[in-house]
Structure 1
Amino acid sequence: MTGTDERADTFVRTDDGVSVAYQRRGTGIPLVLLAGQANNHHWWDGIREDFHPARSTVTLDYRGTGASDAPREGYSTPRFAEDVVCVLDALGLERADVYGTSMGGRVAQWVAARHPDRVRRLVLGCTSPGGPLAVERDASVRRALAGPDPDAVRRTLTELMYTPGWTQEHPGPYGTLGDPHMPPHARNGHLTASNRHDAWDVLPRITAPTLILHGGQDRLTPPENAALLAERIPDARVHLLPGARHAYFEECRDTAGALVRAFLA
């Protein structure tokens, strides 16, 4: 397939009966873009066009987000990875490049480890291998994100995503702060999926050439995790973006985008 410029969602029924919405834009070599926890495909709105017209981009609304179904069960990073493979099958794509950030990077790890024949090149951004050996965010960040005031939590999340100087110049709205229409059970499902992620044992199975990107000032997912991933994934390379926070891909759009495009090329 060469791609499509259709703007409407398309749907695929997964093997456990969930309707998952996906979107393909542009033409050319396919690049699958995987968003962060509790976010839909709008996570990528600010930058996906940077990969056109050389390639097409494929996104999806994770189960529980966007136009996809929100089942009561079935939330885990391995399950999300199987949903990605269902989308590839629906599009008739035997192989694709995969770029996952935050929880999307956790999902991408499972796609590449379980289905190495489906991933040509892999980019992991601001993510973690999970499990007991990963470097967790500090207790103050966890407490702030679990606070009772939604506005305060949103302010904290914005500060974790972007530097103050960038938000002054770019007042939003931001597409990386969560899908506001998610039902509570789905939001909790995403949180549990991300927290329980542990791909440590399967990371050496990844055969795709891998680029790991991380913001040097990321407190949401500490940058030490980039080195851990590189130790576990054969021949992976790491690039830290000094001064960047969790949403490095948006704030450092020009630099990060150029790195990814060069690696994929």
Structure 2
Amino acid sequence: MEIETNGTRIHVSLRGSGNVALVFLHYYGGSSRTWDRVADELSDHYRVVAPDHRGWGRSSAPAAGYRIADLADDAEGVIAALGLQRYVLVGHSMGGKVAQLIASRRPAGLIGLVLVAPSPPSPTLLTEEARATLAGAYQSRESVEFVIDHVLTARKIDEELRAQVIDDSLRGAPQAKAAWPNVAMSEDITKEVASINVPTVVISGELDQVDRIATLQAELLTRIPHAAMQVIPATGHLLPLEAPGEVAQIIAGFVKAVVDKLVV
């Protein structure tokens, strides 16, 4: 479905049902489809809400508005439009940084936070060469394939998922592709995340080269001290695609524990 919010048309994938919704926010280069195999495991028990960030997937691509706060406002608008009463935010990589900012605002209805290979709240500092490389990573099929094989994954993904990653990466609007490495990645939300007060789990890939375990331990876990980390062995950065079953299992266990605690 399409939802008009924050001056932008956001495409949202919906499935499942239940008293608790899972709101999935995708990575830089992905789309709502990134979560399909995770959602397959969870939609029998939960309502699944997966928006495309502005400039990605089937959402509109305004000329400006790609800072973390803009993406957070978009997601909160989707949540409000759907009238979600109890929900857990699940953010991957860039979507993880967006989810952290939303959670720091302590919105009504938020009961938990799942950060999957998240970008940390502190600025990610890149050399100009590295920034240019990242900004150009999704410009051609060849460049996307290189990134998949040498940066994003540690486990081989099947051909269907590989084609999906390539399509999603190339489909992104130029302004969306430029905004993350040049603006949003460098934003500092460390003060904001100190306000996060919901149960939080961080899911990391053992071999993640993008948001490494050591970086998250230093830059994220020290700032959200009640957060717990779970590591999935032999996986890279694209956890929702490399290990969807394991990610879904951790999410399900986490959400059950959160809900059980609320009931007591």
TM-score range, shorter chain: 0.7 to 0.9
CA contact (8 A) 1:127 1:225 kept: no
Report what 1:4 is aligned to.
none
Instruction: Provide closer, same or farther for how the CA distance between residues 137 and 252 of structure 1 changes in structure 2, counting only shifts above 3 A.
Output: farther
Instruction: Provide closer, same or farther for how the CA distance between residues 260 and 141 of structure 1 changes in structure 2, counting only shifts above 3 A.
Output: farther
CA contact (8 A) 1:99 1:123 kept: yes
**Structure 1 residue 208 and structure 2 residue 208: aligned?**
no
- Give the CA deviation at 1:233: 1.0
Report what 1:126 is aligned to.
117
Aligned length: 250
Report what 1:242 is aligned to.
233
Secondary structure class of the residue paired with 2:222:
helix
**Structure 1 residue 18 and structure 2 residue 18: aligned?**
no
Secondary structure class of the residue paired with 2:234:
coil
- Give the CA deviation at 1:113: 0.4
CA contact (8 A) 1:144 1:153 kept: no
**Structure 1 residue 172 and structure 2 residue 163: aligned?**
no
Which amino acid is 1:245 matched to? Answer: G
Secondary structure class of the residue paired with 1:75:
coil
Gap runs ≥5 in structure 2: 257-264
Aligned equivalents of 2:117, 2:40: Cα separation in 1? 20
CA contact (8 A) 2:26 2:91 kept: yes
Which amino acid is 1:38 matched to? Answer: G
Instruction: Provide closer, same or farther for how the CA distance between residues 147 and 14 of structure 1 changes in structure 2, counting only shifts above 3 A.
Output: closer
Aligned-pair identity (%): 26
After superposition, residues 42-191 of structure 1 pair within 5 angstroms as 42-132=33-123, 145=134, 150-159=140-149, 160-163=151-154, 166-167=156-157, 170-174=158-162, 175-177=164-166, 178-191=168-181
TM-score, normalised by the number of residues in structure 2 = 0.84
Instruction: Provide closer, same or farther for how the CA distance between residues 107 and 49 of structure 1 changes in structure 2, counting only shifts above 3 A.
Output: same
- Give the CA deviation at 1:40: 2.0
- Give a deviation string over 1:163-214, Cα, whole Å, max 9, x none: 2x524xx233433454432332232234435423322111110011000011
Which amino acid is 1:107 matched to? Answer: V
Instruction: Provide closer, same or farther for how the CA distance between residues 236 and 38 of structure 1 changes in structure 2, counting only shifts above 3 A.
Output: same
Aligned equivalents of 2:10, 2:156: Cα separation in 1? 34
- Comparing 186-195 with 59-68, which one deviates more in the overlay? 186-195
Aligned equivalents of 1:146, 1:13: Cα separation in 2? 28
Instruction: Provide closer, same or farther for how the CA distance between residues 222 and 126 of structure 1 changes in structure 2, counting only shifts above 3 A.
Output: same
Gap runs ≥5 in structure 1: 1-8
